[in-house]
Amino acid sequence: MGIIAPMPRTFLFRGLADEGTEIQGEFGTGIQRMYLEMYQISACQLAYSNRDTIKELVLRLTPDADDEIALGDISEDLESLFNCIYPKLTRLSIETGQDVVGCFSLPDINLFPSLTSLSLNTYCDFDIGFFVDDASDNLTSLTIYLTKPIVRSLRGRVFPNLVCVRIRKTDITIGLYGIDAVIEAAHLPFLVAPNAEYIEAYCHSLRYRQSPQSFIPQNHSNPQLRHLIISQTTLTLSVLQQVLAHFPGLIRIGVDGIQSDEGVYLNTSDNEVSRLLTELPILSTSLRRIDFITSWTVDSLMVVAIAKLPSLRMVTIRAASEMLDEYKEEIGKSV
């Protein structure tokens, strides 16, 4: 399906009924924003024909399960697309199905001199330098899946004006690469974006690590950071305090859950909750919101105790339905 109007500035395209279909006429050029969701890679030629005017390009390569490219290599097709300069392109997003693969050998020139936002939601093997080498100071937003080649190409890089960095997924696990590689991957968003205001980290296999250095580089500090999400991670209370000390400007943090320092599966007593509420120091003078991304039973009493701290203004709990009554009961208790 295509949505077409005379002389458009935005072009939305979903699917190709016929691989040989060509877009012709005056609406075929001069497009500034292009969103292509396709099952045939030949649709990429639409972007190529608008390379001099396009400012935003979103490529969603989502073939049918029966399509041969679903388990195929898209290198040749995308390499042919990215063999010329896109002088006005500021936002680029590439998304593929999980099984689509590609190892790319792309030209050693600056194809995107104006790029400010890059999103690579794919496990294909890109060298990040291909997109940003000569535009490092321009980049303000980066969203990626972490693979070993991406980690390698990010190692040692710093983007001083990167405001937002999101690690959405990773295939770097302890079983495949060892704990050191997993910790390096967890550290990356903080190292490449030392002045970021928003960081979303994906800490695979680090769920119950008892030191913040497992997912935050040692001695790292960023007073500009306002919103931090550390997914796949359950923190102890003391580790949460240390994380907040690293980032004194945080106003919002998201973690899987909070556990007692005495043990991951310890059932916190009512007396312990009362002690926390009366003795616990203010965790942060700026923190206003905590999001608990809980998908199984965690120490609900501990979560509720943190939620009742007077410095907070909002707490969200994404809990399983069978836990709702437990949370409601604890929230309703007087202290």
pLDDT at 276: 60
Q: Is residue 177 part of a domain?
A: no
Which residues is 12 bridged to in the sheet? Answer: 3, 35
Q: Is residue 27 part of a domain?
A: yes
Which residues is 141 bridged to in the sheet? Answer: 117, 164
Domain boundary residue among 139, 160, 182? 139
pLDDT at 185: 86
Q: Quote the mean pLDDT of the chain.
A: 76
Tell me which residue of 263, 253, 262, 259 sits closest to 283, measured CA to CA.
253
Q: Which residue has the higher pLDDT, 320 or 119?
A: 119
Q: Which residue has the higher pLDDT, 166 or 293?
A: 166
Model confidence at 158: pLDDT above 90? yes
Greatest C-alpha distance within the chain: 75
Least-confidence region, from 83-97, 196-210, 237-251? 196-210
Q: Which residue has the higher pLDDT, 125 or 156?
A: 156
pTM of the model: 0.82
Do 125 and 220 fall within a single domain?
no
Q: pLDDT-based confidence at 200, cuts 50/70/90?
A: very high
Q: For the chain, what percent of residues have pLDDT higher than 70? A: 61
Q: Is residue 58 part of a domain?
A: yes
pLDDT tens-digit map of 256-309: 877 777 655 445 566 666 666 566 556 677 888 988 876 554 566 677 777 766
pLDDT at 28: 60
Burial class (CB in 10 A: 0-12, 13-18, 19+), 272: middle
Q: Is residue 245 part of a domain?
A: yes
Model confidence at 99: pLDDT above 90? no
Do 233 and 126 fall within a single domain?
no
pLDDT tens-digit map of 211-261: 777 788 888 889 999 999 988 777 877 788 888 888 889 999 998 877 777
Question: Using the 8-state DSSP alphabet, how is residue 243 labeled?
Answer: H
Q: Is residue 193 part of a domain?
A: no
- Residue 298, domain CATH: 3.80.10
SS3 36: strand
SS3 141: strand
Question: Using the 8-state DSSP alphabet, how is residue 196 labeled?
Answer: -
What is the average pLDDT across 68-86?
A: 66
What is the average pLDDT across 176-191?
A: 85
Question: Using the 8-state DSSP alphabet, how is residue 314 labeled?
Answer: E
The dihedral of CA 219, 225, 230, 231: what is its sign?
A: negative
Do 2 and 130 fall within a single domain?
yes
Residue 252: partners with Cβ closer than 8 Å, 6 or more residues away: 226, 227, 228, 287, 288, 289, 290, 291
The CA radius of gyration of the chain, in Å to the nearest whole number, is 23
Helices 237-246 and 300-307, packing angle to 10 deg: 40
The dihedral of CA 49, 51, 53, 56: what is its sign?
A: positive
What is the average pLDDT across 167-195?
A: 84
Q: Could you list the beta-strand ranges (E) of the chain.
A: 2-3, 10-14, 33-38, 56-61, 91-96, 117-121, 141-146, 164-170, 198-202, 227-236, 252-259, 289-292, 314-317
Kind of pairing, strands 289-292 and 314-317? parallel
Domain boundary residue among 116, 139, 162? 139
Do 122 and 237 fall within a single domain?
no
Please tell me the total count of domains within the chain.
2
pLDDT at 81: 77
Range of the domain at 241: 206-335
Domain boundary residue among 123, 139, 155? 139
Q: pLDDT-based confidence at 148, cuts 50/70/90?
A: confident
Give me the DSSP letters along 249-312.
Answer: T-SEEEEEEEE-TT-TT----HHHHHHHHHHPPPS-SS--EEEE--SS---HHHHHHHHT-TT-
Distance CA 135, CA 114 (A): 7
